[in-house]
C-alpha cells in the first residue's frame, strides 16, 4: 500500500498522518518514512509521532489510537504557535511600550463531539449533507470529524447515539443459544463474537459511515445452464490433468504437504522456467454455496439469471458494475465462481449489515464490531479467526442482507498462485507444484474445523489416488481429475543467466519448492555443459522434524552428493539436538529457524552478495520468515561491514534495486 504524509508547515511545524503499509512486504511504510525523513532534513519539526499502520494485522490497530492522541497534540501545538506569535508581537512592540492585553493570551479550544452528547449529534446531522445517511468523514464539518456515526437516521430514534441496552441481563437474554454450544460455554460471562463485556458494552460508539448502495440486482427465471461455464471460457485458462499426487510428509506431521504433477504435454504454450508461478482456479465449496443460498432464502432461485446494473444517482464515487461478474450467469454460478464467500468481512460490510439486522442486541453487537471502540473485539473474534460472512451470519440470525449487499461487498474469487517445483529439462511435459493443506480450527461461529479453499479442494480431488511416502505407486490407480490453470511469468525470480554467478536460496517448508526447480535445472546444465564454470549454490532449509516433514530430503541430499548443491544448511525447529550437535552448540544456541543458520554463515553470505556479486532468493511465509530473514541480513551486513543500521539498510536496498535480492513470498 502506498503511504502518505499530510504536512502543515508553519514555522517549521510538520504534522505527519499515519503511514500505511503491510509487514508482509519488506519495505514497510517506506514511502511515509522517506517523506518524513526529507521533511525533517528541510527543517520541519515533528510535534507528534508518526503512526505506522500495518494492513497485515489491521490498519485500525495503529490508526485508532494514533487519532486518539492526535487531538491533544494538535491543541498543544496550536497553543504553542499562538504563544510564540504573542511573544513575537511583544518583541516587535517593545520600543512603543504598548502592552499586549492579558485577554490576548491564547486559549485554544478544540471541541470534539461525543456520541453521548445528543445535542451535538443533532448539530452534526443538521450541518451535514441532507443525505447524511451516506456521508463520509470528509463531508462532515471539521469540528465533527471525530463523530464517526454518520448514519443517525438508521434507527427510529434518529439523532440518539448508539447506546447499550437497558440492562446487561436483558442483552444476555436476547443473545442466541449459540453461546452455550462453544468453547465459551464453560464461562457464560466471557466475551464472544455475539456478546461483549464492559467497558465496550457500556460505551458510546464511533462507527464508520454507512457505505452507499450502488448496484441494482434482479433475478430472472430463465434457462442459464448453458452459460454456467462462462468464467472458464477465458482464453488464458488451460485444462490439464493431474498425473500424479504424492504426500511428502509423514502421517503424524503437523502439516500435510502434497506434490502434484500436472500433465501439460498437450499444451506447448505452457512454457515455464524455474521460478515461474501459475494460477489454479478453484470454486467455492458446493456445501458452502448451498448453505449461503439457504441463508439468504434463495435456494429455490439457484438457476435464475442474475442481472446486475449500476444504481441511478448513487452517491458512491467511481461506482461501476464489478467486471468479474459476467452477463447471463446463474445465481449458483455467481456464488460458485465469482464471489469470495470465504473472505473476512471488513468493517464497512459489518456496518452495512447493521441496517438489515432486526434484533436490537445483535444490531448493537455488529455496531460494536465495526466501531473504533470495538477494534480489539473485531480482530480477536473476526479477523484473527478468518471468519467468513456465512459464519458471521450464523451467529447473527436476525441479519437478513439482500443479495445486492453481498455483491457490493464480497471481493472477487481470486485464483490461487503456486510456484513451479520442477524443471522442463528434467521433467518434459510435466509441471510440479507443492502445497500444504491449510487447516482452520473450530471456533465460535465455526462449530467444525475446515480446510483452506483451494488446498482443501485439491486434496479432496486427489485423496483417493494419493501416493504415500515409502509406498510404491499402483499402476492401476484411479484416474485423477483435471484442473484449470493459467501461467504467470516471473521474469525476475529465476536463477542467474550467468552460470558462473553464485546464488543463495532460502526456503523453509514448502518455500523450498521453486528451488527444487532451480537445482533440477542446474543438474541438467552441468550434464550438458561439463566444461562450463558454475557458481556456488547454497540452500537454507528448515522444517519442524527431520523424520516427518523434511521435504525432498532424498533429492536434496542427492544434489549435495553430486555437487549440484554445494552447501545444504538445514534446521529443525521441534527436534531435540542429537548428541554431536549438542557438543558443537554447547557454547551457542541451537539454530531453530533459517535466519539463525543464516546468521551463523554471515561471512559467507556477505562475501557472495557483496564481493562476488551473487544473488539471494527468499521464498515462503511473508509475515514471519521473510521479515526475520530481512532483519537478519541487515544484522549480518552491520557486523561484517561494521556500519550502522541505516548504511546496512541502504546496502540491502541496493541489492533489491539490482534485482539480486529477490522474494517470492505469501501471507
CATH number assigned to the domain comprising residue 24? 3.40.50.360
Output the pLDDT for position 50.
82
The CA distance from 386 to 219, in Å, is 30
Residue 545's domain spans which residues?
Answer: 503-666
Nearest to 258 by CA among 138, 136, 418: 418
Question: What are the strands, taking DSSP E only, across 420-466?
Answer: 430-436, 439-440, 450-451
Output the pLDDT for position 9.
45
Instruction: Tell me: do 660 and 528 sit in the same domain.
Output: yes
The CA distance from 154 to 133, in Å, is 8
Output the pLDDT for position 623.
82
| 520 pLDDT more than 50 | yes
Question: Residues 275, 493: contact at Cβ < 8 Å?
Answer: yes
| 650 pLDDT more than 60 | yes
Output the pLDDT for position 603.
97
Q: Sorting pLDDT into bands at 50, 70 and 90, what band is 16?
A: low
Instruction: Tell me: do 94 and 53 sit in the same domain.
Output: yes
The CA distance from 333 to 429, in Å, is 32
Output the pLDDT for position 156.
33
Question: Rg of the chain's alpha carbons, rounded to an integer?
Answer: 30
Q: Which of 35, 69, 104 lies at the terminal end of a domain, its last residue?
A: 104
Instruction: Tell me: do 661 and 569 sit in the same domain.
Output: yes
The percent of residues above 70 in pLDDT, for the chain, comes to: 74
State the average pLDDT for the chain. Answer: 81
Query: H-helix or E-strand containing 473?
Result: none
- How confident is the model over 114-121, as a mean pLDDT? 39
- How confident is the model over 50-67, as a mean pLDDT? 69
| 582 pLDDT more than 60 | no
The CA distance from 341 to 633, in Å, is 39
What is the DSSP secondary structure assignment for residue 307, as one 8-state letter? E
Q: Sorting pLDDT into bands at 50, 70 and 90, what band is 411?
A: very high
Half-sphere exposure of residue 652: CA atoms within 13 angstroms, side-chain side: 23
Output the pLDDT for position 159.
34
b/e burial code for range 200-234 (CB count within 10 A of at least 16 → b): bbebbbbbbbbbbbbbebebeeeebeebbebbeee
Residue corresponding to grid cell 436490537: 360
| 133 pLDDT more than 60 | no
Instruction: Tell me: do 481 and 526 sit in the same domain.
Output: no
Q: Which of 73, 104, 135 lies at the terminal end of a domain, its last residue?
A: 104
Nearest 5 degrees, angle CA 23-CA 28-CA 30? 170
The answer as to whether 459 is a domain residue is yes
The percent of residues above 90 in pLDDT, for the chain, comes to: 61
- How confident is the model over 11-36, as a mean pLDDT? 66
The answer as to whether 498 is a domain residue is no
The answer as to whether 317 is a domain residue is no
The answer as to whether 315 is a domain residue is no
| 182 pLDDT more than 50 | no
For the chain, what is the total number of helices (H) and then of strands (E)? 19, 20
Q: Which three cell numbers stand for residue 640?
A: 561484517
| 56 pLDDT more than 70 | no
Output the pLDDT for position 331.
97
Count CB neighbours of 58 within 10 A.
20
Q: Which of 70, 85, 104 lies at the terminal end of a domain, its last residue?
A: 104
Count CB neighbours of 95 within 10 A.
7
Output the pLDDT for position 618.
97
Q: Sorting pLDDT into bands at 50, 70 and 90, what band is 223?
A: low
Question: Residues 340, 411: contact at Cβ < 8 Å?
Answer: yes
Residues pairing with 246 in the sheet: 259, 467
The answer as to whether 401 is a domain residue is no
- How confident is the model over 314-327, as a mean pLDDT? 93
Q: Sorting pLDDT into bands at 50, 70 and 90, what band is 126?
A: very low
| 548 pLDDT more than 50 | yes
Instruction: Tell me: do 449 and 569 sit in the same domain.
Output: no
Output the pLDDT for position 474.
55
The least confident of 19-23, 196-200, 250-254, 432-436 is 19-23
Nearest to 664 by CA among 631, 626, 634, 629: 626
Instruction: Tell me: do 278 and 424 sit in the same domain.
Output: yes
> Of 30-39, 338-347, 615-624, which has the strongest mean pLDDT?
338-347
Q: Residue 493, SS3? A: coil
- How confident is the model over 16-29, as a mean pLDDT? 64
| 74 pLDDT more than 80 | yes
Output the pLDDT for position 191.
82
Specify the number of domains making up the chain.
3
- 141-180 pLDDT per residue, tens: 323 333 333 333 333 333 334 444 333 333 333 334 344 3
Instruction: Tell me: do 650 and 575 sit in the same domain.
Output: yes
Q: Which residue has the higher pLDDT, 266 or 170?
A: 266
The least confident of 66-70, 108-112, 305-309 is 108-112
Amino acid at each position: 500500500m502506498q503511504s502518505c504524509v499530510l504536512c502543515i508547515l508553519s514555522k517549521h511545524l510538520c504534522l505527519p498522518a499515519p503511514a500505511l503499509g503491510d509487514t508482509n512486504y519488506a519495505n514497510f511504510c517506506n514511502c511515509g518514512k522517506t517523506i518524513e525523513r526529507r521533511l525533517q532534513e528541510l527543517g520541519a519539526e515533528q510535534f507528534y509521532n508518526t503512526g505506522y499502520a500495518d494492513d497485515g494485522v489491521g490498519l485500525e490497530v495503529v490508526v485508532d489510537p494514533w487519532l486518539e492522541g492526535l487531538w491533544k497534540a494538535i491543541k498543544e501545538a496550536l497553543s504553542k504557535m499562538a504563544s510564540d506569535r504573542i511573544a513575537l508581537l511583544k518583541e516587535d512592540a517593545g520600543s512603543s511600550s504598548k502592552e499586549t492585553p492579558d485577554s490576548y493570551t491564547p486559549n485554544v479550544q478544540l471541541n470534539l463531539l461525543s456520541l453521548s452528547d445528543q445535542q451535538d449529534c443533532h448539530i452534526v446531522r443538521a450541518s451535514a449533507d441532507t443525505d447524511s445517511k451516506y456521508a463520509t468523514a470528509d463531508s462532515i464539518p471539521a469540528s465533527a470529524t471525530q463523530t464517526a456515526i454518520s448514519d443517525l437516521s438508521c434507527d427510529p430514534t434518529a439523532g440518539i447515539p448508539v447506546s447499550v441496552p437497558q440492562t446487561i441481563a436483558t442483552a444476555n437474554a436476547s443473545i442466541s443459544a449459540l453461546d452455550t454450544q462453544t468453547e465459551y460455554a464453560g464461562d457464560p460471562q466471557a466475551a464472544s463474537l455475539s456478546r461483549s463485556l464492559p467497558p465496550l458494552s457500556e460505551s458510546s460508539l464511533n462507527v464508520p459511515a454507512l457505505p452507499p448502495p450502488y448496484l441494482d440486482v434482479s433475478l430472472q427465471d430463465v434457462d442459464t445452464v448453458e452459460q454456467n461455464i462462462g468464467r472458464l471460457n477465458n482464453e488464458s485458462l488451460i485444462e490439464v490433468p493431474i498425473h500424479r499426487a504424492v504426500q511428502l510428509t509423514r502421517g503424524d506431521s503437523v502439516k500435510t504437504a502434497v506434490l502434484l504433477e500436472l500433465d501439460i504435454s498437450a499444451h506447448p504454450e505452457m512454457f515455464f522456467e524455474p521460478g515461474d508461478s501459475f494460477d489454479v482456479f478453484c470454486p467455492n465449496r458446493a456445501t458452502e454455496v448451498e448453505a449461503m443460498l439457504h441463508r439468504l432464502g434463495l435456494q429455490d432461485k439457484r438457476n435464475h439469471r442474475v442481472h446486475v446494473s449500476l444504481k441511478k444517482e448513487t452517491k458512491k464515487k467511481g461506482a461501476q458494475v464489478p467486471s468479474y461478474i459476467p452477463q447471463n450467469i446463474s445465481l449458483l454460478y455467481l456464488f460458485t465462481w465469482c464471489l469470495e464467500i470465504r473472505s473476512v468481512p471488513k468493517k464497512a460490510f459489518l456496518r452495512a449489515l447493521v441496517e438489515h439486522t432486526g434484533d436490537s442486541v445483535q444490531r448493537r453487537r455488529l455496531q460494536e464490531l465495526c466501531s473504533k471502540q470495538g477494534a480489539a473485539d473485531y480482530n480477536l473474534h473476526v479477523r484473527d479467526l478468518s471468519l467468513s460472512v456465512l459464519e458471521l451470519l450464523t451467529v447473527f440470525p436476525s441479519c437478513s442482507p439482500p443479495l445486492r449487499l453481498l455483491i457490493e461487498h464480497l471481493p472477487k474469487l481470486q485464483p490461487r498462485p503456486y510456484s513451479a517445483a520442477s524443471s522442463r529439462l528434467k521433467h518434459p511435459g510435466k509441471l510440479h507444484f507443492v502445497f500444504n493443506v491449510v487447516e482452520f480450527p473450530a471456533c465460535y461461529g465455526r462449530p467444525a474445523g475446515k480446510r483452506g479453499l483451494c488446498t482443501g479442494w485439491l486434496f479432496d480431488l486427489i485423496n483417493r489416488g494419493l501416493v504415500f511416502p515409502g509406498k510404491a505407486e499402483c499402476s492401476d490407480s484411479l484416474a485423477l481429475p483435471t484442473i484449470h490453470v493459467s501461467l504467470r511469468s516471473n521474469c525476475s525470480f529465476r536463477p542467474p543467466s550467468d552460470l558462473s554467478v553464485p546464488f543463495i536460496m532460502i526456503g523453509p517448508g514448502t518455500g523450498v519448492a521453486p528451488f527444487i526447480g532451480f537445482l533440477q535445472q542446474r543438474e541438467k546444465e552441468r550434464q550438458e555443459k561439463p566444461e562450463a564454470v558454475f557458481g556456488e549454490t547454497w540452500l537454507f532449509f528448515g522444517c519442524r522434524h527431520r523424520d516427518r516433514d523434511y521435504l525432498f530430503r532424498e533429492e536434496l541430499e542427492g544434489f549435495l552428493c553430486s555437487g549440484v548443491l554445494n552447501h545444504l544448511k538445514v534446521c529443525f525447529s521441534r527436534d531435540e539436538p542429537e548428541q554431536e550437535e549438542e557438543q558443537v552448540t554447547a557454547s551457542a544456541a541451537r539454530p531453530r529457524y533459517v535466519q539463525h543458520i543464516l546468521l551463523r554463515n554471515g561471512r559467507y553470505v556477505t562475501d557472495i552478495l557483496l564481493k562476488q556479486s551473487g544473488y539471494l532468493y527468499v521464498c515462503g511465509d511473508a509475515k514471519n520468515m521473510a521479515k526475520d530473514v530481512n532483519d537478519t541480513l541487515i544484522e549480518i551486513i552491520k557486523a561484517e561491514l561494521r556500519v550502522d543500521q541505516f548504511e546496512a539498510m541502504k546496502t540491502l536496498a541496493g541489492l533489491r534495486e539490482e534485482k539480486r535480492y529477490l522474494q517470492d513470498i505469501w501471507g
